[in-house]
Structure 1
Amino acid sequence: MKLTIEKLTQLSAQDRIDLGKIWQEPCYQHALTTEITEDNTLFVARFNERLLAACRIQLSGNKAIITDFMVREVTRRRGVGHYLLTQCLSAYPDITHWQAISLSAEENGYDVAHAFLTHHQFNPSPQSDLYVLNI
C-alpha cells in the first residue's frame, strides 16, 4: 500500500483509535476532542488503512497555524512527517504566513521538533515553542 495524506472531515471508529495512539501524551488530549471544521482542519498520514501521523491546521485569512503535529513513535525517521508537512503546505497555496506550535519532543536530550521544523525552513520566533515560515 501507498502512504497517503488525507484531509479528514469525519472520523471512523478506527481513526479515533489510531489518533489515540498518535496523540498519547497528555498535552495532546485536547486534539482528540477538537471539532473538525473548514477553519480547523485535520490532516493525517495513512498507510495500510491505519493512521501514522496527524496534525491540525487552523486557518485565518492568509495565515495558518499548524498544531498537534505528531508521528507515531514506531514510524519516525522514515519520511512520514516530511510528507505530511509538505502536503499540508501545498494544500493551501494562498497561505503566505505559516506558524507551527512545537510541543518540544525530545529524544536522548535532542529537541527533534526544533530540528524538524528548522529543517523545513521554519524559523524560531521570540515566543517560546512558536516557529514561523513566510512564503
Structure 2
Amino acid sequence: MRLSAFTVTESTPQLLIDIIKLYRPFQHDEADIKNSFETLLQNDSQTLFVAKFNDRHIGGLIMQNDATTLFLSCIAVRDITQQRGVGKYLVQRAIENAKSLGLESVTVVKTVQITAELSAFLIHLGFNEQASEFSFNC
C-alpha cells in the first residue's frame, strides 16, 4: 500500500480510532480527543490533513489559512511510524497545498506542543526559525 495524504471531510469509525491513537500523547482523555475531532470537522476555517498507510491514519496536522499564509498546528505522527518520512511527506504535501492556493508562506506558531525535536524537524525541512514561529516561504 502507498502512503497518501488528504484532507478529511467526514468521520469514519477507523479514522476516529486512529486519531485517538495519534493524539493521545498530547491529550490523554479519549473523550476530549473525540470532542475536539468532531468540533474540528464542523469548523469551516480549519482543516484536518492526514497521512494514511495500509488503511490506517498515521500522521496528521491541522491547516488554516488567511490571504497569504497557511498555518499548521497539531503536527503529529504515530510513535511507531516515526523516523520513516511520514512527517516529512505530510508537511511537504501541506506546502504543495499552500502553493496551489497561491499563498506566500507556511507558518507554524511556537506553542507548548513545539518540542525541540519538532523544531529541529521543521528547520531540517527548510523552515526559518523566528522569535514566535517557524516560517517557510513558498
Both structures adopt the same fold (TM-score exceeding 0.5): yes
Aligned pair count?
A: 128
Q: Are 1:84 and 2:90 matched, yes or no?
A: yes
Tell me the equivalent position of 1:68.
74
Identity of paired residues, percent? 26
Q: Distance in 2 between matches of 1:13 and 1:115?
A: 34
Partner of 1:43: 49
In the alignment, structure 1 residue 104 sits paired with structure 2 residue 121:
no
TM-score by length of 2: 0.83
Q: Whose helix fraction is larger, Structure 1's or Structure 2's? A: 2
Q: Which residue of 2 is the match for residue 12 of structure 1?
A: 12
> Unmatched 5+ residue regions in structure 2?
none
Q: Where does 1:17-32 land on structure 2 (aligned, <5 Å)?
A: 17-24=17-24, 25-26=26-27, 29=33, 31-32=36-37
Provide the rounded CA distance (Å) in 2 between the counterparts of 1:116 and 1:68: 14
Q: For 1:53-77, what per-residue CA distance to the aligned partner results, in whole angstroms no more than 9, with x for missing partners? A: 0000011112111000000001000
Comparing both structures, which one devotes a greater share of its residues to strand? 1
TM-score, length-normalised on structure 1?
Answer: 0.85
* Alignment partners' CA distance in 2, 1:12 and 1:101: 29
Matching residue of 1:3: 3
Read off the aligned partner of 2:5 and give its amino acid letter: I
Deviation per CA, 1:13-66, whole angstroms, max 9, x where unpaired? 110110011111228948534423453111101011110000000111121110
CA distance in 2 between counterparts of 1:38 and 1:87 reads 20
The structure 1 segments of at least 4 consecutive aligned residues displaced by more than 4 Å after TM superposition are 27-31
Counterpart code for 1:116: F
Letter in 2 for 1:74: I
